[in-house]
Amino acid sequence: MVAGCASLGPPPAVENSLGMAFVRVPAGEFLMGSDETPAALARSYPQLENQRFLDLADEAPVHRVRITRAFYMGRFEVTVGQFRRFLQASGYVPESVADGTGGYGYNPAYDGETSASGDAFEGRDKRYSWQNPGFAQTDAHPVVNVSWNDAQALAAWLSRTEGRRYRLPTEAEWEYACRAGTRTRYQNGDDPEALVAVANTFDRTSAVNWPRWQKQALAGSDGFAFTAPVGSFAPNAFGLYDMHGNAWEWVSDWYAEDYYAHSPVDDPQGPPDANVHVRRGGSWHTWAFYARSSYRNWNTAQTRYPLVGMRLVLESP
């Protein structure tokens, strides 16, 4: 296929040595962030307390961002099978194993409300890791319980062995890729209930396991109580799957609440230094409100959790 003739077929894709497919995301401009008012959000998410709408200052101001170079982005989240092949080929030991503290996991007998840590999931515990988040996964599911440092190790190993540059997306690249030309809350519009058509989030199926949060669940069903095989839902206009939901995705940026007020227009890279890294997109356990294209969350580089995975970028030659 001839480069630049995307209209003649699907966007050019490449596959790498671990079987990851990447699609070309063109250079372009977009409006990053959200300036929706608390009143507008309250109308669409009536089950949420008002304070949650006031806590979104970091999504503003909406600002113009230019992505000056095309890049390739993982069509899917990194899968369990791909991560296993990486470990086997590289000898890398994931952080949850290397530091001896394990990960977190789903245990139906565990009650976060009465636990000392207050976490929603049991851990850290050696019994949990990328291999075991406490629920069944096949090789086609997104790998979770992986840290930002694990993602860096995967990207560095791929770069070294294949002789081309892999990395996590920047936060701006991620939102640009997620929006794929839209300005709405989700790739398919503003209606949270429509999300079940394109994403695995906290729906009626998941709520069975968390009766306390029943009212936060989407009324409809996406069919998955835990992670779904990657690509189970419709892609966005760039041909990317599961940008909303399934697993949160680490991005390269450090997090700063006020970053959008002074970030550069061209290819913002995030603040030079901070304590936590950004993750994006929400997960199988995430309420629709927090799976919006503009929503920002963060954790330390060592964090591993059953909700958090990754997706890589391959730089254009």
**Contact set with Ca ion (CB under 5 A):** 200, 203, 206, 222, 224, 242, 246-247, 281
CA-based nearest residue to 80, from 88, 71, 72: 88
> CB-wise, 224 or 250, nearer to Ca ion?
224
- Token pair of 111 as six digits: 């009650």
Q: In the complex, what is the shortest distance from the CB of residue 121 to Ca ion, in angstroms, rounded to a whole number?
A: 16
Return contacts of 124-131, CB within 8 angstroms, 24+ apart: 124/96, 124/304, 126/100, 126/101, 126/102, 127/102, 128/96, 128/102, 128/103, 128/104, 128/306, 129/94, 129/96, 129/97, 129/102, 129/103, 129/304, 130/80, 130/83, 130/94, 130/96, 130/103, 130/304, 131/80
> CB-wise, 248 or 254, nearer to Ca ion?
248
Q: In the complex, what is the shortest distance from the CB of residue 262 to Ca ion, in angstroms, rounded to a whole number?
A: 28
Q: In the complex, what is the shortest distance from the CB of residue 68 to Ca ion, in angstroms, rounded to a whole number?
A: 25
Rg (CA), the chain: 19
> CB-wise, 38 or 220, nearer to Ca ion?
220
Answer whether 16's CB lies under 8 Å from 164's CB: no
Q: In the complex, what is the shortest distance from the CB of residue 88 to Ca ion, in angstroms, rounded to a whole number?
A: 25
Q: In the complex, what is the shortest distance from the CB of residue 244 to Ca ion, in angstroms, rounded to a whole number?
A: 7
> CB-wise, 74 or 102, nearer to Ca ion?
74
> CB-wise, 78 or 97, nearer to Ca ion?
78
Answer whether 256's CB lies under 8 Å from 271's CB: yes
CA atoms within 13 A on the CB side of 157: 19
Q: In the complex, what is the shortest distance from the CB of residue 63 to Ca ion, in angstroms, rounded to a whole number?
A: 24
CA–CA distance, 300 with 148 (Å, rounded to integer): 8
> CB-wise, 206 or 297, nearer to Ca ion?
206
